Structure 1
Amino acid sequence: MNLSEEYKLQKTERLALLKQRAQAVLSQACQKSGEALGSAQTIEMHTIKLLEDLRIYQVELELQNEELRAAQLDAEMARKRYQYLFSQMPIAAMVVDGQGVLDDANELAEGLLGPSKHFVNADTRLWARLGGKDRARVYAALRDVAPGETKVLTQVLVKGSTTPEPVFDAHLIGLSIDYKLDRRVLMLWVDRTAELARQQDQQFYSLLLDSSDSFIYAADKHGKMLMANQAFLNFLGRSREEVQGQLRQTFLPMRDAILHQETDQKVLNIQNTITLEEQVHLAAPHGRVDFLTRKFPLHDLNGKVYGVGGISTDITTLKNQQRQMLLSEAVFLNSAEAIIITDAQTHILRVNPAFTRLSGFSEQAVLGQKTKILKSGRQDAAFYIGMWKTLSTTGTWSGELNNRRADGNYYTLWSTINAVRDVDGTVLNFIAVQSDITQLHNSQQALTYQAFYDTLTGLPNRALFNDRMAQLMAASHRHRKTFALMFVDMDRFKEVNDTLGHQVGDQLLREISRRLQEGLRTEDTVARIGGDEFVVLLPDTDGRGAQAVAANLLERLREPVQLAQDLSYRPMASVGLAQYPADGDTPDLLLRSADLAMYDAKTDGRNRFAVYTTEMRRVNDKTFVIQTELAQAIEQQQLRLFFQPKCRLSDGVLMGAEALVRWQHPSKGLVLPGEFISVAEKIGLLVALDRWVMQEALRQLGEWMAAGWWQVGWRLSVNQNVVDLQHPNMLENLQNLLNQHQVSACALELEITEDAFLHHAPEQLDRLIQLQSLGISVAIDDFGTGYSSLAYLRKLPVSVIKIDQSFVSGMLTNETDAVLVHTIVDMTHNLGHTLVAEGIEDESQRQHLACLGVELGQGFLFDRALSAEIFAARWLASPAQS
């Protein structure tokens, strides 16, 4: 129903009301006239009034007819205006009922829906143009939209003949023309096809811009950013909102922002494209970043310039590479090392000035030539085959090369060659960096000689000997052969050095080396591994052959040699023999076996050779264990002091004691000094051991003296190492110990072995005199075993002579021993010394010695060595000894 028809309906209803009103008046008038029939006047008056009302109603009715005609004209005009506007709307519009049936449609809507003649049922025109999903959306909206309400359905796809099919936003407006009529909906179809296409294009170009690694941006004339792609935003570390619409100085350093704005103004002034390099200075760790920038003016549709666009590419890496290339070129030209660049076939492409200085060849002389022109011929083909094999396998080679200069002289260089390959691994170039090491090479050869040869004798040293022995051992093992090793040590060589000087000693060593070499085969090896120690390797030699060689060498060595001042000297040596593999299957073990045999030869009297036996190792191992454990024994207080009484031979009365050290081993029990004293002397522990004995002896003696158990005139004997006499603080330390323990010097006696005096020094004699002046007695121990002489015995400041037990034990059965004992007694008494006999085991020995006039004695006849507690209980606390 249109608007004019609605207006006509309203007018008709008004006229019907007026007629009803007029009929009511007439009916009322007739009623009133009937009631007033009795009165004519009344009837007349009512008639007049009724006629007046009818005229009024007639006039009103005419007026209303005029209004109705005017309203009909207005309605018609409104209908025409509505129809015109509806048909001329720039968008498709249609009026549908709640089921989507079309009431009205403008021209654009008709074009959208298509001619109605193509549809059998006009009710399906709208639904035929919609897909299933969009039908449901539109149907639900038609059902739910209320009068006066508006709903919008976006991106509704309308089927048609065009490609692509158009997309619309459907605006649904609920209409309310009359409450009696069915609900109607005005549908306005806004075509979004072009807009969506533009959006897609914009998204596409935005994606392209944001996918670029280059910075793409645009700014207006004042430097305010109009656009920036994602790469630029990522570089700045800012969001799009923080950049777009902002001036450069808000996100760039002020100096950079000003410089970039100046280049923008240049583009605006010339209105043309420019290309330049720009920098952005960021905080660490980025620093300065270099860009290659292309800037261009931006024009609007009218051709007016409104801003500047830019595309910047980060060339920092390229600039760094350029700087590196310049640096590399500078290094190439100024390097002190020669550099050669060749192609894959070793044709020389470039050389630096250092190459010319090193080789003497100019660049023009070698360009295009192969590197083989530099060869000296001193390295064989196998060397170069190995070099190129390494190059082809690893791509690099380093080593020494012997080349020839342009003047023909040879030189040695250290060369490092690297292959340059492309991405496929194909060799493009070779680069060689070379340093002149001629002087270093010569020095290394000299150092190598020094490292493997003895500078004094020219013989192989320990390092080269060990290498040769390892090779010989491997070859002998492989071929199941045997060989011999000799360890040669000169006898009393130290005496030569000390007496004649080291220069004469060196002369002797050179002569010994010459004699050893002359007495050996060509395949044998003699080496000097120490001061006066030599070793000899005898390949493919058995034990008998080795002994023959050793005997021959000893004979050669014994021949006189003229030393300084026309002195004729007969060198002697001790030789140890060991056999591979019986005496050792490793170089170290075999050498130790030979060393043990040599030590055994020295122990046996020197100037001989000894063959290694397993017993030697057993003894040596035992000695090693003792020396290892002895150091711990001193630290852990495992040593004990025992006391053996010294008695007057005439009546057996106690006159003192000898302090003797024992070792209380944790597992072996009590160990006698014969098993560890010599080891202590060998490893340098004897001084510490003597110091402990002296400290403990004086401490114990002090306790006995304080208790009144030690009588005046008794002496406690303590063994003393002659080396201690050379210590400058010996007297001071001894006096301090005597004072500390409150022991009288007259109660102490120092026993020094006879052989220690054979090489006495003047300071030792002075020290003995000082000891005597303090009241300390000095005794010579083991007298008769050290080849004593009256000449030196007369000079020694000693008080007591102790006869060695070896003479005492044999004097009653051996005439020689008896004569010696009698001689010692007479000589000692003649010198005014006291005698003490050691090792008295039976009464007959005591009586005989007493008859000879020996004053004191000690031995098992009186008592064995006792612990301090037992000695005190048995000898000191007994009333018989008081």
Structure 2
Amino acid sequence: MMPIAIVAPQPKTILIVDDIPANLGVMASYLEQLGFDVVTAQDGEEALQRAQLVQPDVILLDIMLPGMDGIETCRRMKAIASIQAIPVIFMTALTETSKKVEGFAAGGADYVTKPFQIDEVFARITTQLQLRTMHQQLALQNLALQNDIRERAHLDEQMRIAALVYQNSAEGMLVMDGANRTLSINAAFTSITGYALDDIAGTDSPLFRSHCHDPAFYAALWSALRMDGHWHGEVWNLRKNGEKYVQWMVINRLNNEDGSLYGHVTLFSDITEKKSAEALILRQANFDELTGLPNRRLFGERLAQEIALHHGAGLSLALLFIDLDRFKEINDTLGHAVGDRVLVEAGRRIRAGTRASDIVARLGGDEFIVVLTRIGSLDRVEQSARALLESLAEPFVLDDSVSRVSASIGISLHANAAPEGGQLLNHADQAMYVAKRLGGNRFSYFTPLLQQAAIDRRSLINDLRAAIDGKQFVLYFQAIVELASGRICKVEALLRWQHPQRGLLGPDEFIAVAEETGLITEIGDWVFREAVRWAKRWTALVCEPFQISINVSPVQFKSEGDAQEQAWLAYLEEMHFPATSVVLEITEGLLLDDNKKVKGKLRQYKQAGVQMAIDDFGTGYSSLSYLKKFDTDFLKIDRSFIRNLSTDPNDRVLSEAIIMMAHQLGIKVIAEGVETQEQRNFLLAAGCDYAQGYLFSKPLPPQAFEQLLLENALGPAKAALPTLPCASRMG
């Protein structure tokens, strides 16, 4: 192997070409501090003159120059024999690959990107100085060998000196002869690849025979070198230990003085970490971290592509919106870690139940999407939907626990005239909610009627928000009468909505949507405070104990934290209204809820003295043991039993049994929907404590109920008392 010599270090001259004086000043100052002699020029013509006059060692050339740009300037420099060998490093803020390739084609040796990192600029200048020195010395060496073999020892020493210079480069360097046999490597080469010089000296470099690329790739690389004299790009390679990594590689041709090929010099850096970071960013931007499935963003892109493809080919596709049933119960009872494992397994089952050409994605939470491509008939869609339902209904065996969920699937179809991706997804979402409302574990197709229902629902939600802001809610009150005395001792607060266009609306028309959207929390808070305010007034008027019954949604009990409970109990203290005068009406199902938060909130109210009533008893689970367990105060027999007391013996028997068993548990009974004297007499004889219904009073506005209460307590003659101004609207 022939040695490489390098001249002794001496100050090097750098020509900087930039049309912005501030850039020139900053760069010149940095380079002078690093020990370089600096010459400057502000345009291409001046640069050509200065280069020929000064003969710099390296030229830093801005691409964007007035008049003749940097690339043309470089091209002209390479046409002038006296300066054509001077390496040109382009300076640019441009990132387009085409512009960089054009610069290399013009004869540029390297480039640096603005804004500059001076360490990078210094490294690239040093590298080019080394390369130029090596190139010059290789040519001199060949000439010297032809003249006198006695120079061999001296040139060997010079080679060692050169090695000391470029061993400190952070970039791997490889010098090959004309047959591409390894002549020299630096320390960075060994550090990056694991190969020492003894491993590869005189052989084809392992950089070009790792087989990480196909033969066509390497053929194109060598062809570019033969044609252009240089090549650059990303190359995958193998380290000596077999580990795969990726390089950014620049290869330049080395010519003898007569222009014939001497060999090639290769510079490369390990960009594996950079590529891994880029891949991680790409993965995080496009894939769900938990399941590894495409996320909402990538799904949107792929759906748009599939729609365009299917539309052009006249094909159809189906979108399945999948939502797991009862998944929240798993999170609440077993914890989020178990919930995450269920989601991972659910994603795996969904992916396994689809074709490779189908799209599977996770939108978030327990929502998944499947796009069935190239469907020929609805049979294919329904078979897939049923298979997914069956798969997801199988038990999820996780360590020592077994969890069961099912799924609700909404299906929307895309044909030639069908909606675009976003609308298609909304349609499937609407259909999924229909499946869920029907009990889950089923699929439902989108129909135009669903679309209208969705529009109406959205309008209702907007109107509800406006109702809260516009104080459109009002309370009506229905008397609860003590059967034995006929005295009104309780009242139930009933919510109404004074809609500006539709008039007075009952709760059946909006409560379900308020619960689904979470608006029930704010509405329920207003109901509680307004009801307590009126109850306090009426207690003072009749000068007797008086209870207010307030309906509370299960959603309010299942909300996070205890802020509502604390606020309500604090409000009772603020109003100096006894907690024992408040009755919260809840559903049977709430007592059966295993949620610890629900149980804790119920106990918190009871400990404060608030009483509990079970509404519509007999229509649900009707578990008397739960009534006792939670220290229930009142049980309200549903109107469906009361309605047929005079005609249905079974309803009479059931009503008597409920009253008797409740009394044995120390629970008082309220009958709802009492409309006839015959019903009242039967209930009184059966021992029922209280009743409410149209026999006594329909739901009334607060002023009307107040008059009824006064007449009941004092008699009509004494009831003509002044009342406070109405303040029953939400505010």
Q: Which category of TM-score, normalised to the shorter sequence, fits these structures?
A: 0.5 to 0.7
Q: 1:549 aligns with which of 361, 365, 384?
A: 384
1:714 and 2:549 aligned? no
1:579-598 equivalence runs, <5 A: 579-581=413-415, 585-598=419-432
1:184-223 equivalence runs, <5 A: none
Deviation at 1:539, TM superposition (A): 1.4
2:483, 2:690 within 8 Å by CA — same for their partners in 1? yes
1:484, 1:577 within 8 Å by CA — same for their partners in 2? yes
Amino acid at match of 1:825: I
Amino acid at match of 1:719: N
1:1-40 equivalence runs, <5 A: none
1:769/1:498 Cα in 2 relative to 1: closer, same or farther (>3 Å)? Answer: closer
Match of 2:624 in 1: 790
1:768/1:355 Cα in 2 relative to 1: closer, same or farther (>3 Å)? Answer: closer
Match of 1:401 in 2: 235
Match of 1:239 in 2: none
Match of 1:615 in 2: 449
1:453/1:863 Cα in 2 relative to 1: closer, same or farther (>3 Å)? Answer: same
1:265-299 alpha-carbon deviations (Å, 9 max, x no partner): xxxxxxxxxxxxxxxxxxxxxx9xx999xxxxxxx
Whole-angstrom CA distance in 1 between matches of 2:292 and 2:659? 57
Match of 2:571 in 1: 737
1:337, 1:355 within 8 Å by CA — same for their partners in 2? yes
2:539, 2:545 within 8 Å by CA — same for their partners in 1? no
Whole-angstrom CA distance in 2 between matches of 1:508 and 1:763? 23
1:650-689 equivalence runs, <5 A: 653-689=487-523
RMSD: 5.2
1:512-567 alpha-carbon deviations (Å, 9 max, x no partner): 445444443443344444444333222122333212222233334444565544x6
2:490, 2:546 within 8 Å by CA — same for their partners in 1? yes
1:93-135 alpha-carbon deviations (Å, 9 max, x no partner): xxxxxxxxxxxxxxxxxxxxxxxxxxxxxxxxxxxxxxxxxxx
Task: For residue 597 of structure 1, give the secondary structure of its aligned residue in structure 2.
Answer: helix
Whole-angstrom CA distance in 2 between matches of 1:762 and 1:826? 31
1:559/1:743 Cα in 2 relative to 1: closer, same or farther (>3 Å)? Answer: closer
Match of 2:715 in 1: 880
Match of 2:531 in 1: 697
1:473 and 2:307 aligned? yes
Task: For residue 489 of structure 1, give the secondary structure of its aligned residue in structure 2.
Answer: strand
1:326-341 equivalence runs, <5 A: 329-330=125-126, 332=128, 335-338=169-172
1:594-609 equivalence runs, <5 A: 594-609=428-443
Deviation at 1:656, TM superposition (A): 2.7
Whole-angstrom CA distance in 1 between matches of 2:370 and 2:631? 49
1:455/1:748 Cα in 2 relative to 1: closer, same or farther (>3 Å)? Answer: closer
Q: 2:592 aligns with which of 735, 758, 781?
A: 758
2:643, 2:673 within 8 Å by CA — same for their partners in 1? yes
Task: For residue 412 of structure 2, give the secondary structure of its aligned residue in structure 1.
Answer: strand
1:578 and 2:412 aligned? yes
1:11-410 equivalence runs, <5 A: 329-330=125-126, 332=128, 335-338=169-172, 354=188, 358=192, 374=208, 378-379=212-213, 400-403=234-237
Match of 1:486 in 2: 320
Task: For residue 315 of structure 2, give the secondary structure of its aligned residue in structure 1.
Answer: coil
Deviation at 1:787, TM superposition (A): 0.3
Deviation at 1:814, TM superposition (A): 5.2
1:510/1:746 Cα in 2 relative to 1: closer, same or farther (>3 Å)? Answer: closer
Q: After superposing the two structures, state which structure 1 stretch, 574-583 or 484-493, moved more.
A: 574-583
Task: For residue 643 of structure 2, give the secondary structure of its aligned residue in structure 1.
Answer: helix
1:321-349 alpha-carbon deviations (Å, 9 max, x no partner): 8897995643545552357999xxx9999
Deviation at 1:712, TM superposition (A): 0.9
Deviation at 1:874, TM superposition (A): 4.6
State the TM-score, normalizing by the size of structure 2. 0.62
1:769, 1:797 within 8 Å by CA — same for their partners in 2? no
Deviation at 1:826, TM superposition (A): 2.5
1:755, 1:785 within 8 Å by CA — same for their partners in 2? no
1:859 and 2:722 aligned? no
Task: For residue 369 of structure 2, give the secondary structure of its aligned residue in structure 1.
Answer: strand
The structure with higher relative contact order (CA 8 Å, sep 6+) is 2
Amino acid at match of 1:545: R
1:734/1:349 Cα in 2 relative to 1: closer, same or farther (>3 Å)? Answer: same
Whole-angstrom CA distance in 1 between matches of 2:514 and 2:219? 62
1:769/1:739 Cα in 2 relative to 1: closer, same or farther (>3 Å)? Answer: same
1:500, 1:564 within 8 Å by CA — same for their partners in 2? no
2:669, 2:690 within 8 Å by CA — same for their partners in 1? yes
1:791-822 alpha-carbon deviations (Å, 9 max, x no partner): 21222222211122333335555555444333
Counting aligned pairs with the same residue, the percent is 37
Match of 1:781 in 2: 615
| Structure with the greater alpha carbon radius of gyration | 1
Task: For residue 673 of structure 2, give the secondary structure of its aligned residue in structure 1.
Answer: coil
1:775/1:571 Cα in 2 relative to 1: closer, same or farther (>3 Å)? Answer: closer
**Structure 1 regions of 5+ residues with no counterpart?**
1-286, 293-312, 420-429
Whole-angstrom CA distance in 2 between matches of 1:711 and 1:733? 27
Task: For residue 713 of structure 1, give the secondary structure of its aligned residue in structure 2.
Answer: coil
Aligned residues: 564
Deviation at 1:629, TM superposition (A): 4.1
Whole-angstrom CA distance in 1 between matches of 2:445 and 2:647? 37
Whole-angstrom CA distance in 1 between matches of 2:419 and 2:219? 39
Q: 1:639 aligns with which of 473, 477, 499?
A: 473
Whole-angstrom CA distance in 2 between matches of 1:737 and 1:811? 41
Whole-angstrom CA distance in 2 between matches of 1:667 and 1:387? 75
State the TM-score, normalizing by the size of structure 1. 0.53
